[in-house]
Amino acid sequence: MAREVVTPVAVLDAVRRSVGAGLHDLARIWRGVVGEDAYERYCDHVRAERAAGEPDHPCLTEREFWRDRTDRQDANPQGRCC
């Protein structure tokens, strides 16, 4: 029975892929925690409403979205540090 030989290059490549995937997941989680993905989630929500037959309203541009969100937060402050 032949035994498979694992080269150091193959091991390092597997480690690199694993670490890269972990860092990608960590970055995605961090974006969710700090709210950086809010515009993407908003666009997904608008698309889902349109697909469900809800009344059509234009999707805000990213600039309009962030301005509206900031204005709403200023008008209705919730528990936040700053």
Residue 41: how many other CB atoms lie within 10 Å: 11
Is 1 contained in some domain? no
pTM recorded for the entire structure: 0.60
Nearest of 25, 54, 28 to residue 41 by alpha carbon:
28
- Expressed as residue numbers, the domain containing 30 is 8-75
Percent of the chain with pLDDT over 90: 41
Is 80 contained in some domain? no
Is 37 contained in some domain? yes
| Region class of 44: left (phi > 0), else alpha (psi between -120 and 50), else beta | alpha
pLDDT in tens, 40-57: 999 999 989 888 887 777
